[in-house]
Chains A and B, each alone.
Chain A
Amino acid sequence: MKKLVIKSFLYFVLILCVLEVLVRVFHLTKDYPVRIVDEYNVEKWKPNQEGYSVTGNRRQNFSKFYINSSGYNSYREFTPSKDKVEIALVGDSFIEGFHQNYYNSIGKKIEDRLIDVEVYEYGYSGYDLADQLHLINQYESTFNLIDYVIIGIKFENDLNRGEYNIVQERIRLESPIYRAMRQIKLLVYLQNIGAFDAPRELMRKLLSRRNDNVVIISEQEEIRLQKELETNYIKNFENLVKIYNFDKERFILFLDSKKNPLIFLEYLHHNNFKFIDFSKALSDTKIPTTLIYDKHWNNHGRNIIAELIANYIKLTM
């Protein structure tokens, strides 16, 4: 028995080592760029780093990212000036685009469709409207030189706070323990393929047996809560717009009207906020516009988005 225990342990450790090597050699999992909070209290990626983003067990999506000197994933540096036409795309992971090669991003596709226009992609996973407006506000001198600022917004995700503050949960991911764990590529790979879902589910089951107080909400109550939530979100929007000097002339919201409640769309109309709605453009195509493994836009989806933005700019130029 002793021999079995010792040998099993030895084999277990050796196999883990071999798997770690294989995961690294075949680059089966993604690289995590380092995140920072800069001197303006803006959360972004540490400038000048590169790596690969991988999705799926078998590297089904493999793309290179490059974080420029401004701290965003982009094929170009952000150097706005008065004599050029520039567009800033400010948004979350959809604009950040780790799921695509950095040189094949929405920004690049927009540039290909316009003449002498530079596109700056200020995308960062998890950014909500507060993050985005805080960034624009803190880098006011830079953004004042940019002709068009397009801001991505998802009503249900991006308006749950009315003022910016650093999201501690994200910053905690840069603690020494998390950084050390990310150095073990096998661990990262296992987490990404859902290998820890089973233990997590088991824990959840065990805990839910202890606290199985299920609250049942009636339909009317649900409607009332939804309305209350929408009102709060609109209040948050109003607050953010006010605090961070939202420029209605240059700033254009970018949204999917199907994923925003009518009340919010009407609010935007009434208050003369400009917005581009990409809902119809995406739903009109029969070819899938998102990736297999996640909801991010695939190459076709990005082409449609780029076309839509380029056409909008052409019309307003």
Chain B
Amino acid sequence: MIFNSLEFFIFLFIVYILYWFVFKKSLKAQNILILLASYTFYAWWDWRFLSLILLSTIVDYFVAKKIDSNTIQSKRKLWLWVSVFFNVGLLGFFKYYNFFVDSWIDMFSVFGYTIKSTWTLRIILPVGISFYTFQTMSYSFDVYYKKLKPTTDFLSFATFVSFFPQLVAGPIERASNLLSQILKKRVFSYDQAVGGLKLILWGLFKKVVIADSLGPIVDDIFSNYSQYPASTLILGVTLFSFQVYGDFSGYSDIAIGTAKLFGVELKSNFKFPQFSRNVAEYWQRWHVSLSTWFRHYVYIPLGGSRVSKLKSVRNICIIFLISGFWHGANWTFVFWGAFHALAFIPVFLMGRNTIYKDSVVGENTFLPSLTEIGQVLLTFSIVTFSRIFFRSESITDAFKFIKKIVTNFSYETYNHPMGYRMIDYYVLIVLFILYEYSIRKDERSPFKFKYKAIRFVAYALVILGMLLFYDSSMDRSFIYFQF
């Protein structure tokens, strides 16, 4: 059941009605409904993997209790490692097992040994495993660092782990934010519900109009990159930047909006990363929940930036490499992470990694300055370039793609693989950038207009846009589901 499907909206409607009309009386009732709904939502993909969620829930629930009840530091640490080993083990087996076996075999073949691959298994990647394992681990970490008392309410904890709006692709929530809300009875708020509906609408627009309409173009260019001139490859990777942003931020908006409908506030996951002025700012705006997770649970425990410059650089490399690897069992993602580390380190060494933390481009003016435009374009180019690794099927493909751009530049007009007018897409992207720029100060209010009439026109235009670019024959799944 994906967010942009009819099934989901029917499901959402039923759960919403039950939640506010039948199960609203007590916290327990609310949580029972959310838990059942979340398990149904997940079982729609593959009910067999529900056992993994349940197992992860049970392990971290008891591990956290053990950590809290122990006063001896070494024992607390031991229990924390139980949680880490269990969750990382789960992830490692389902996501990385075949990758390690294949890489091992490839390594031997470099030295002239041929090993027949009989160890690889036919494993299905359980959807959302990278997200919910990180979420449950964060709970154990927070209890370990004494930022949180473990809950004694198993039902609420299970609801926290499996909360359906963010179960399969985040935002990865910390227990201090989500669990604390789940432990309290939710009360209906008109403003919150309306805010949720607005976010769902905007998220759907980003998914249906931006991501799905660009998908066939990007797929065509990346699949046939050897036949296209460099100009088309640049177009392909640029459009992929918008596609992946529309896809993932669209998903996050729908998730946040859906949670709001149930009286729960999730953390923002995207803060207009395309308007970042350097790579550090980009990482404060792109997939914020994952960046925050790595910062809190990997970077800071390693010493963060409070150690020597050399060690800080090492820490940066570690989190970017892990972050890359988190995205998928392919060397392309490791290279992608490494590329970002290389782009981030100079910004860090110049001490510019936090200067844009609390501001947006064009902070006090309507239009950005020329310097800002230059910074934004440069950052966008760097990030877009890195996406060649992110999108390519293999590392060889990625380097061939880059080689063609760098050594054999030529220009040709690109035609849509299905023969559609390309100008429609160029106009769409320009309008999208301008609109997102106009709302850049608040990612949670995509329709923040003073006048009702303007707001209404915006709703109508967004829906019209969805109709104009809707394609019923399209594969409409979300890119980040594969992670």
Q: Which residues of A pack against B, CB within 8 Å?
A: 1, 3-4, 7-8, 11, 14-15, 18-19, 22, 56-58, 60, 189-190, 193-195, 197-199, 202, 288, 292
Contacts and interface: CB of A to CB of B under 8 A. Distances in A.
Contacts of A15: 456, 459-460, 463
Interface stretch (B73-81, B103-111, B140-148, B415-423): B415-423
B431 to A, nearest CB: 14
Contacts of A3: 190
A199 B7 CA distance: 9
A85 B78 CA distance: 98
A11 B20 CA distance: 21
A19 B460 contact: yes
Nearest to B455: A11
Nearest to B9: A198
Interface string B1-34: 0000111000000000000100000000000000
Given A1-B20, A15-B463, A18-B460, A58 B468 contact: yes
A194 B468 contact: no
A193 B472 contact: yes
Contacts of B194: 4, 7
Contacts of A11: 456, 459
Nearest to B469: A57
A197 B5 CA distance: 11
A198 B470 CA distance: 12
15 contacts: A3-B190, A4-B190, A4-B194, A7-B194, A8-B197, A15-B459, A18-B460, A56-B420, A57-B469, A57-B470, A190-B467, A193-B472, A198-B6, A292-B419, A292-B420
Contacts of B459: 11, 15
B254 to A, nearest CB: 17
A27 to B, nearest CB: 13
B190 A197 contact: no
B301 to A, nearest CB: 44
B473 A22 contact: no
B302 interface: no
Contacts of B420: 56, 60, 292
Interface string B375-396: 0000000000000000000000
Contact of A19 (B188, B418, B463, B471): B463
Contact of B464 (A14, A22, A60): A22
A213 B238 CA distance: 48
A194 B472 contact: yes
Interface of B: 5-7, 20, 188, 190, 193-194, 197, 418-421, 424, 456, 459-460, 463-464, 467-473
> What is the predominant secondary structure among interface residues of chain B facing chain A?
helix
Contacts of B424: 58
A102 B473 CA distance: 30
A13 to B, nearest CB: 12
Contacts of B469: 57-58
A26 to B, nearest CB: 9
Contacts of A1: 20, 188, 190
Given A4-B193, A57-B471, A60-B420, 19 more contacts: A1-B20, A4-B194, A11-B456, A11-B459, A15-B456, A15-B460, A18-B456, A19-B467, A22-B464, A57-B468, A57-B470, A189-B467, A193-B470, A194-B472, A194-B473, A195-B470, A197-B472, A198-B472, A292-B420
A14 B452 CA distance: 13
Given A11-B459, A58-B424, A194 B6 contact: no
A1 B194 CA distance: 11
A78 to B, nearest CB: 35
B175 to A, nearest CB: 29
Contacts of A202: 6-7
User: Ordered nearest first, which 3 A-B pairs have the shortest CB separation?
Assistant: A194-B472, A292-B419, A197-B472
Nearest to A202: B6
Nearest to A290: B419
Contacts of B190: 1, 3-4
B38 to A, nearest CB: 22
A14 B453 CA distance: 12
A19 B457 CA distance: 10
A187 to B, nearest CB: 12
Contacts of A7: 194
A194 B463 contact: no
B87 to A, nearest CB: 35
The interface centre, meaning the residue of A4, A15, A22, A194 with most chain B CB atoms within 10 A of its CB, is A4
Contacts of A189: 467
Contacts of A57: 467-471
Nearest to B261: A4
Contact of B456 (A14, A190, A193): A14
A190 B472 CA distance: 11
A143 B467 CA distance: 46
Contacts of B418: 292
B460 A195 contact: no
A111 B415 CA distance: 34
Contact of B467 (A60, A193, A288, A292): A193
B460 A194 contact: no
A19 B193 contact: no
The interface centre, meaning the residue of B188, B194, B460, B473 with most chain A CB atoms within 10 A of its CB, is B460
A14 B463 CA distance: 12
Contacts of B5: 198
A19 B464 contact: yes
Contacts of A288: 419
Contacts of B421: 58, 60
Nearest to B21: A1
Contacts of B460: 15, 18-19, 22
A170 to B, nearest CB: 24
Nearest to B194: A4
Contacts of A194: 470-473
Given A11-B459, A292-B418, A199 B6 contact: yes
A60 B463 CA distance: 19
A120 to B, nearest CB: 32
A198 B190 CA distance: 30
B6 to A, nearest CB: 4
Nearest to B472: A194
Nearest to A197: B472
Nearest to B459: A15
Contacts of A292: 418-420
Nearest to A7: B194
B473 to A, nearest CB: 7
A158 to B, nearest CB: 27
Contacts of B473: 194
Nearest to B6: A198
A151 B287 CA distance: 62
A30 to B, nearest CB: 15
